[in-house]
């Protein structure tokens, strides 16, 4: 013990140092394994960088939230898929904004206060502003820029308010910033398009070149497949490295995977269970007297109590339902992904379509931007207003005048409907309108007038005409979805886990996938061009987590099972393509034919050697004909034969080379489509019509200016040259 004690006393400090170093080494290794740093927090707030300018997470998310609300209001959907679209839109805008601002600073372009006022309040103001209640005159239909300015200024001055008011202010600021940015971009693009120039000497050279007319004779040998010609991987790689700029791609970093998917769609047992659930309700639905209460108890709150025409009934049951007796329940039948029951409640004759006109005094309205409903007046006030309109019409007031003054119909903004058509709705079919409105116009004869209350407010309605007459049906529907059971979900998950456990590299992955194909009919698939921000992998559906895992993996890694859409997926990373340059695998498809043609040309050139006569070349090519091309011009070809070689610049260049006039060109010419032997018979100069240099410059300028909007935009060129670091995958 004394020996041990002496060692402890003597080496205690040394052991403490060794342990401390070991702990520090462990911490450092752990930090690097997790992509962290000792000197910087791993929880970075940087979403990305553009030419050194940082895009911060909080500011980025604020814009994403605003973009989401705008897109949702415009009917782009909702949920995580919408957020991904919003992220993409904001990311693109941020890149454009940063690049654009730096360029604008260089050239001194700005938008003044007066100019911005003209953008927002002038005759060409944004359509979104014109649709805001109060910004457009209800009588003339003209945009009131002064009213818009007053309300916008008041909103911008507001510093405090409700959460909704502050949100509206933020959306307004974003809206103004967007249009200011768009105006700046238009000015920058105009600066570039207006600077297009064609020098006088250039146009004169073109005229001189095109005044030349050549007559040539040639023998051609087009490239064909040659089994003796081989292109090696090294040759392709060398060519790819030497011509990388030619294979620069617009897309960002992308990856490819092979994957095996295990479906979680409902099984036959799940379908049978769903059918049993609906069958259990059939007897009660058949005997119940209060169908609306019954459906509500079963979770159906959208029961349509109106009669609809046969054309509005699902084709699945239309023929059958029309033959049932009133009160009969039909089903269960499959309707989409559900088993359904349908009960015929009534049958009657009614018009096929109706033409009506109406005036709406609204109690609620919907914001065109946010789609949020808000109260505009109470029901008592609305009822008094509609009663006064009804009385005024009885006393001889013109309907057309009243609809222009009083109508709150949101479709009034549509020139084809609403007040611009006198409040008229034509060719209305049964079930198209809300139930109360529908029942009035289909349940009363032509000429009927009255007040109808709906969820939107009070309507003064007049039935103008009715067309056709056929049977209409009132039907109650009850459905139960066909859903996958926990057992089905667990079975797919377990199969995926077993496959992933047995497949840890490319060889075992492929071998086990082949077994699944043979034994269970499960197929192996591929997905290419998966970008970091992708939300849906084609054929799989929502798969954001899977995409993130693909980008955490290395080439050849087999990923753990992940749920994507209706499948459990096991994937292996098969390709990693860095930003900016096409992958070698993709470039090979283009390079290999090019190199093969080049080798064929070299073989033919070596075979023929020096060219002395076209006849000798024709014989060497196995009896190819000697062709004559007349009226060949340097640019604009005038004959069909000449147009056939217009894509061969080397051939055209040799034809107009003064050194070749009257001679056989001594070497074969390697072209794009084949190799050529040519003799330049003669070259003459002719007058070219419309050779007015001034007019040609003007026409060329106008054409190029018009075409500039269809070509790659300046901002895209700047984006291609920018250094962009995308770190969104760390956050989304």
Q: Percentage helix, strand, coil, to 5, in the chain?
A: 50, 20, 30
Q: List CB contacts of 415: < 8 A, sequence separation 6 or more.
A: none
Q: Which range has the worst mean pLDDT, 372-376, 659-663, 665-669, 709-713?
A: 709-713
pTM of the shown model: 0.57
Res. 11: pLDDT tops 70: no
Res. 327: pLDDT tops 70: yes
With a pLDDT cut of 90, the percent of the chain lying above it is 30
> What is the per-residue pLDDT for 355?
92
Instruction: Give the residue from 336, 282, 295, 263 showing the smallest Cα distance to 482.
Output: 336
Three-state SS for 219?
A: strand
Res. 527: pLDDT tops 80: yes
Q: Which range has the worst mean pLDDT, 12-16, 247-251, 288-292, 655-659?
A: 12-16
Class of residue 291 by CB neighbours under 10 A (exposed 0-12, middle 13-18, buried 19+): middle
Res. 726: pLDDT tops 70: yes
The answer to whether 671 touches 665, Cβ cutoff 8 Å, is no
Res. 710: pLDDT tops 90: no
How does pLDDT run across 363-418, given as a tens digit for each residue? Answer: 887 665 555 667 778 889 889 999 998 999 899 888 888 887 776 776 554 444 44
How does pLDDT run across 437-472, given as a tens digit for each residue? Answer: 988 998 899 999 999 999 889 999 999 999 988 888
Q: Which range has the worst mean pLDDT, 357-366, 548-557, 713-722?
A: 713-722
> What is the per-residue pLDDT for 332?
94
Give the pLDDT band (50/70/90) at residue 97: confident
> What is the per-residue pLDDT for 420?
45
Q: List CB contacts of 351: < 8 A, sequence separation 6 or more.
A: 442, 466, 467, 468, 469
> What is the per-residue pLDDT for 228?
81
Average pLDDT over residues 67-78: 75
How does pLDDT run across 551-588, given as a tens digit for each residue? Answer: 999 999 999 999 998 899 999 999 888 776 677 777 78
Res. 8: pLDDT tops 50: no
Res. 144: pLDDT tops 80: yes
How does pLDDT run across 223-280, given as a tens digit for each residue? Answer: 887 778 888 888 888 888 888 777 766 556 789 999 999 999 998 899 999 999 999 9
Cα(466)–Cα(441) distance, integer angstroms: 9
In this predicted model, which residue has the larger pLDDT, 44 or 518?
A: 518
By residue count, the chain amounts to: 732
How does pLDDT run across 294-310, given as a tens digit for each residue? Answer: 999 998 888 888 888 88
Would residue 465 be called left, alpha or beta, if left means φ above 0 and alpha means ψ between -120 and 50 degrees?
Answer: beta
């Amino acid at each position: 013990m004394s020996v041990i004690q002496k060692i402890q006393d003597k080496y205690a400090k040394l052991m403490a140092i060794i342990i401390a170093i070991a702990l520090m080494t462990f911490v450092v290794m752990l930090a690097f394994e997790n992509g962290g740093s000792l000197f910087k927090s791993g929880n970075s707030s940087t979403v990305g960088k553009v030419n050194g300018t940082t895009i911060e997470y909080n500011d980025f998310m604020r814009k994403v939230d605003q973009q989401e609300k705008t897109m949702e209001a415009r009917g782009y959907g909702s949920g995580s898929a919408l957020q991904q679209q919003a992220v993409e839109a904001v990311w693109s805008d941020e890149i454009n904004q940063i690049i654009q601002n730096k360029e604008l600073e260089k050239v001194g372009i700005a938008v003044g206060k007066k100019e911005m006022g003209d953008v927002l309040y002038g005759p060409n103001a944004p359509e979104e502003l014109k649709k805001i209640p109060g910004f457009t005159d209800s009588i003339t239909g003209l945009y009131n820029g002064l009213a818009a300015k007053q309300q916008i200024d008041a909103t911008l001055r507001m510093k405090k308010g409700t959460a909704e008011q502050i949100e509206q202010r933020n959306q307004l600021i974003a809206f103004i910033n967007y249009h200011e940015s768009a105006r700046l971009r238009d000015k920058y693009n105009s600066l570039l398009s207006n600077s297009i120039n064609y020098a006088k000497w250039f146009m004169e050279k073109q005229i001189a070149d095109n005044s030349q007319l050549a007559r040539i004779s040639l023998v051609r040998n087009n490239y064909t497949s040659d089994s003796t010609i081989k292109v090696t991987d090294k040759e392709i790689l060398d060519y790819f490295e030497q011509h990388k700029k030619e294979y620069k791609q617009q897309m960002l970093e992308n990856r490819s995977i092979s994957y095996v998917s295990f479906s979680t769609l409902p099984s036959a047992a799940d379908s049978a269970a769903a059918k049993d659930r609906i069958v259990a309700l059939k007897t009660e639905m058949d005997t119940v007297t209060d169908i609306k209460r019954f459906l509500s108890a079963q979770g159906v709150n959208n029961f349509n109590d109106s009669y609809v025409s046969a054309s509005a009934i699902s084709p699945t049951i239309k023929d059958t339902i029309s033959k049932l007796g009133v009160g009969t329940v039909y089903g269960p039948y499959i309707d989409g992904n559900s088993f359904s029951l349908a009960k015929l409640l009534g049958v009657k004759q009614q018009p096929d379509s109706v033409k009506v006109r109406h005036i709406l005094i609204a109690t609620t309205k919907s914001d065109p931007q946010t789609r949020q409903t808000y109260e505009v007046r109470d029901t008592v006030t609305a009822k008094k207003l509609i009663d006064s309109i009804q009385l005024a019409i009885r006393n001889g007031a013109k309907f057309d005048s009243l609809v222009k003054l009083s109508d709150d119909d949101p479709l009034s903004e549509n020139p084809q409907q609403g007040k611009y058509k006198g409040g008229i709705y034509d060719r209305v079919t049964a079930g198209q309108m809300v139930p109360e409105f529908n029942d009035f116009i289909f349940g009363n004869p032509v000429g009927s007038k009255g007040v109808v209350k709906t969820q939107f407010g009070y309507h003064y309605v007049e039935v103008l005409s009715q067309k056709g007459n056929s049977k209409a049906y009132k039907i109650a529907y009850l459905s139960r979805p066909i859903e996958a059971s926990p057992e089905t979900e667990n079975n797919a998950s377990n199969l995926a886990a077993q496959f992933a456990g047995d497949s840890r590299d490319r060889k075992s992955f492929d071998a086990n996938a082949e077994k699944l194909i043979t034994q269970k009919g499960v197929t192996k698939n591929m997905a290419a061009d998966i970008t970091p921000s992708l939300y849906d992998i084609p054929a799989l559906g929502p798969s954001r987590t899977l995409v993130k895992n693909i980008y955490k993996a290395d080439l050849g890694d087999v990923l753990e099972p992940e749920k994507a859409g209706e499948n459990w997926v096991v994937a292996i990373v098969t390709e990693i393509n860095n930003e900016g340059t096409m992958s070698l695998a993709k470039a090979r498809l283009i390079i290999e034919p090019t190199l093969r043609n080049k080798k064929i040309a070299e073989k033919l050139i070596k075979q023929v050697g020096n060219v002395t006569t076209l006849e000798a070349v024709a014989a060497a090519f196995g009896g190819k004909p000697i062709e004559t091309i007349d009226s060949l011009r340097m640019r604009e070809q005038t004959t069909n034969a000449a147009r056939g070689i217009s894509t061969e610049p080397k051939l055209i260049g040799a034809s107009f080379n003064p050194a070749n006039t009257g001679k056989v060109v001594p070497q074969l010419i390697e072209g794009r489509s084949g190799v050529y032997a040519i003799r330049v018979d003669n070259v003459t100069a002719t007058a070219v019509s419309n050779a007015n240099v001034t007019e040609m410059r003007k026409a060329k300028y106008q054409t190029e200016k018009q075409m500039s909007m269809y070509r790659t935009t300046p901002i895209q060129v700047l984006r291609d040259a920018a250094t962009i670091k995308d770190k969104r995958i760390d956050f989304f």
